[in-house]
Structures are given as C-alpha cells and as structure tokens.
Amino acid sequence: MHSSPIEPSTIVLFGATGDLAKRKLYPAIFSLYQRGLLPASFSVIGVARKDWSNETFRDHVLHSLKEFGRFSAEKQGLWEAFADKLSYVSVDLQNAASYIKLKNELTETEQRSQLPGNRVFYLAISPELFGDVSNNLKSSELLETNGWKRLVIEKPFGHDYQSANELNDKIRSVFREEEIYRIDHYLGKEMIQNIEVIRFANSFFEPLWNNNHIANVQITSSETVGVEERGGYYEKSGALRDMVQNHMLQMVTMIAMEPPSRLVTEAIRDEKVKVLRSLRRFSEDEVKDYVIRGQYDRGQLAGKDMAGYLEESGVNPHSTTETFVSAKLYIDNFRWAGVPFYIRTGKRMPNKATEIIIQFKTLPKNLYFNKQGNLEPNLLSIRIHPQEGIYFKLNAKKPGTDGILSPIPLDFCQNCETGINSPEAYERLLHNCLEGDSTFFTRWDEVSLAWKFVDPISAAFSQGKTELHRYAAGSWGPEASAQMLTQDGFRWWPVNGQEESTAGNESYFVRA
C-alpha cells in the first residue's frame, strides 16, 4: 500500500457504451483529471460493438459527466483538453480479427502522445466475455508492450466456486495475479478504507477489539430500490451472490482482520484471507439455523405503494430468488470465538444505509440499571453510507439530575461539514489501479474462499432447505431476522442516524 505518482498510461475501456461506464467510470476519470491526479499524458480509448465515431463517443462522455459527474467539465473550462484525450474503436469482442483496429489505434495514440506503453484494460462488460477478451488481447498482441499492463474486472466473478475457478484459470493463462485488479466497489468507499485507520491508528480500540469486550457486530447494507431494470441478472444472483459473497464478506474481513505486520498490500490481504479461512462454514442442513432469506412483497415506502418482487419486470412470477439475507456468522479464532457477526442486506427496505455497529459487552458489575434492569450498552458505529463518520453511544449523567444516567452520542460526521464531497469509490479505485496499488482489490484466494462459504448456502436455498420469508416492501425484512437476534438476547440497532429516543432508556444510580 503506497502512494506513487501515476505514470503516463492509456485506459482501454471495454463496455464504453454501457451503463457502468456512463454512471461511474467517465465521471471518475474526469474527477481524477480535474483534481490533477492524472499524468499530463494519458489517454482513454473507448471500446464497444456500436459503430460510433470519436465525436459521438465524446458527446456521450460529456453527457455522462453532466448527469453523473461531481464536477462540471464545461464550467471549469476543462472539457476541450479532456475530450482531446478520448477516442473510440468499434470491436466485435468475440472476433479476434477485429482487435487489429484497436491495436492500430492504441499504437498511434501511444506514439502521438509519447506514451510509454502502460496499459489498463478495463472490462466493464458481461463476465461471460472476460475469458474470450483476455485471450483475444493476447492473440492480437495487445499485451506486447514495453510498459506495464493491468486488467480490471467487475463482479460477478463466477456464480459459484467452480465457475469462478474456471474463469480464473482462463484469465490467469493470460495475466499474472499481480496484474489482475478485481473490483469490489465497497472497498473503494471512504469509510471502508478508513476502518483500518480507525482500528490501527488509535490506541484505545485494539485492546478492546476482541471477544472479551465485544458482544456482537452488526453489519447492515439496506437499499430502498427494488430490482429496477435488472430483473434478468438478479433472478440468477439474488442477494446472496449479489451482496453477501462480496461486499458483506469484505466488510466482515476488514472488521475482523489482525493488524498486518506492515501496511503493504500483500500483508493486508493475507490478514483478510485468514479471516475467511476462520469463517465457520455451514453445512447445507445447518444453513437454516444461521441464515434467513426473504423476498419483498407489496408494501409502502416513503408513502408510495410498491409492487412485490414477483410483479417486477424480468422476474419469474413464481421466483424463489431472495431479495434479503440476514445471517449469523462466526469467526472461529482466538480473537472472535463466540462473537456473532450479524449481517443483513436487502432491497426495498425503509432507507438506504451501510453501517457497521460494534456492540460492547456490559460491565462485569452493574452499578446502574434502567427500567429493563440493564445499563444501555456502549456502541461504536462506523457509518459508511449515506452519512460517513463514526458515532459512539456512551452513558453519562443527565445534567441537572441527581441520579439519572442517559445515553449520549459522540458523533463525528465527516460528510456533514460543508465543502467535503468525498470522492466516489470508483475514483479512488481507478486511482489505486493506475498507481499499481492493489490493496483494495480482491485477490483470488479471497474470492475463492468467499465462494466456498456461500456455495452450501445457495445449495440450501435452491433445495428449499430454508424457508423463504416474505416481507413487506418498506420494512426491515422478515420477522425471523429480528428473532435471530432476540434469541441471542440482542436486537438490531437502528441505522442511518435514526437514533432511538433515549426516553425510557435512562438508568438510575443504585446505591448499595
């Protein structure tokens, strides 16, 4: 993990006419340019099947910046110079002969702009094409360069361990592991990258970060959207493959990992892999005791009527695909033995929030009790989205009273300060890739272990070994998800800054 100057390079962007490029990648590239983080000489070559001219491509990029960008290219007088770096080539991705056009364009661009041949091949395309495109890049000699070459690929990386392994073999026959940047965009989020800093740069967390002091960990990633236009994809993936196999498990590893010996990429990734190795795997028959799956039904969200999942377009009206998963995970190592990690993710939930809450154990002897006979536990919340920051819940004396304690928040909201406009995850990840830092990308052993954990769960789902609970759109998921915690004596804490009223949670001095 380091910060090196970016060398002059070319981004060859496959899927240049697609949604990801439009929503995320062009705005990210332009933001880096606007912030002066790209070298003076760089170029972007858009590649897709459509027969576009350079002008059409540039118009498309300009529209994308207007609609989705953090900065306005035109207002800042930067558009002309930026547009000059963009060109487009139409390629039939499965036809090796058609790559010759790309090779010519790339060679000319590198000569014209005096680029040393450093090349990023970004595949923002359907994963079924990753193998073919890698082979075609090789056979058309696009990888023969004096500079470095890197491959960036998007999820889903396979749909189970076997398919992921096959895909990996294909890519590895062309690229070395160090040249492959597997994107998990959660790892590009400001507060996810901040987890290791919060943990390892503050002396008071590490001594408490274990099963002696932590009662449970709760990781929520809730969304208000349904499946939108993605019914076809989602039907085959469901929340388990779409969110748990990657984003949710990545957050678990960041919270649970041991401090790395040094802040270098492989040392950090090694520690993450160890967490995945210690993650308890459930047999297909055990899944029902640890995992809740749900599917949204009709309901109300923000005062509007919402359709059920089975009524969405592209969805089989008898589908059993899950749109919600919550689970109780255990990491069977010395630090975490016995501490449940509760995770939950779903579509059509009451609000959009990604948040990690650490609940600390209660004190060995309680001197203060509330009406329920307890003292409110201390909570540390790492807020990832939409608020970015950290929040502690402590107990303190209620001012002006004689014997009353009340929970108080210590709240640091990083993006509440005016003027702070955190870079988008893609901006950070692209920058990391261009500087050759793969810390926040997933290594093959992480991906493979994540699949090995998920595979028995998906088998239990598809064989109906777990109940598919319906939940109303606009709710926090099935009741069974709440019960999973109450059975353990816990409950889901509210997320997204929606603190509960502290009335009734007050505690009282108890004098012996």
CB of 446 to ligand BG6, least distance (A): 16
The verdict on 223 binding ligand BG6 (CB under 6 A) reads yes
d(CA 446, CA 271): 10
| 41 versus 163: smaller Cβ distance to ligand BG6 | 163
Report CA 477 to chain centroid distance, whole Å: 21
Q: Which is nearer to ligand BG6, 89 or 164 (CB)?
A: 164
Between 426 and 461, whose beta carbon lies closer to ligand BG6? 426
| DSSP 8-class letter at 331 | B
CB of 247 or CB of 272, closer to ligand BG6:
247
Residue 239 vs 485, nearer CB to ligand BG6: 239
Which residue's CB comes closest to ligand BG6?
242
Q: Is 435 in the site for ligand BG6 (CB under 6 A)?
A: no
Please, which residue, 293 or 385, has the CB nearer to ligand BG6?
A: 385
CB of 16 to ligand BG6, least distance (A): 20
Measured from the CB of residue 46, what is the shortest distance to ligand BG6 in angstroms? 23
Count of residues binding ligand BG6 (CB under 6 A)? Answer: 5
SS3 426: helix
Find residue 34's DSSP bridge partners. none
Q: At what angle do helices 249-256 and 190-200 cross, to 10 degrees?
A: 20
Q: How far is the CB of 237 from ligand BG6 (least distance, A)?
A: 8
CB proximity list for 428: less than 8 A, separation 6 or greater? 188, 190, 193, 440
CB of 323 to ligand BG6, least distance (A): 10
Nearer to ligand BG6, 187 or 379 (CB): 187
Q: How far apart are the first and last CA of the chain?
A: 55
Q: Which residues contact 256 (CB under 8 A, 6 or more apart)?
A: 217, 275, 331, 335, 336, 341
Sign of CA dihedral 444, 9, 115, 94: positive
The pair of structure tokens assigned to 181 is 């940047």
Give which of 1, 39, 122, 123 is closest to 438, Cα–Cα. 1
Per-residue binder mask for ligand BG6 (CB under 6 A), 241-260, x = binder: -x------------------
| Pick from 10, 4, 29: nearest CA to 147 | 10
DSSP state of 437: -
* Residue 247 annotated as catalytic: yes
**Applying CB under 6 A, does 355 fall inside the site for ligand BG6?**
no
The distance of closest approach from Cβ of residue 354 to ligand BG6 in the complex, given in angstroms and rounded to an integer, is: 6
- Nearest distance in Å: CB 324, ligand BG6: 12
Indicate whether 354 belongs to the interface with ligand BG6 (CB under 6 A): yes
Catalytic residue among 60, 159, 185, 247: 247
Q: Is there binding between residue 235 and ligand BG6 (CB under 6 A)? A: no
Residue pair 366/374 in contact by the 8 Å Cβ criterion? yes
Give, as one character, the DSSP assignment of residue 447. Answer: H
Residues in contact with ligand BG6, shown as a per-residue x/- string from 380 to 419 under the rule CB under 6 A: -----x----------------------------------
- What is the 3-state secondary structure of 64-120? HHHHHCCCCCCCCCCHHHHHCCEEEEECCCCCHHHHHHHHHHHHHHHHHCCCCCCEE
Q: Which residues are catalytic?
A: 247
- Under the rule (CB under 6 A), what is the footprint of ligand BG6? 221, 223, 242, 354, 385
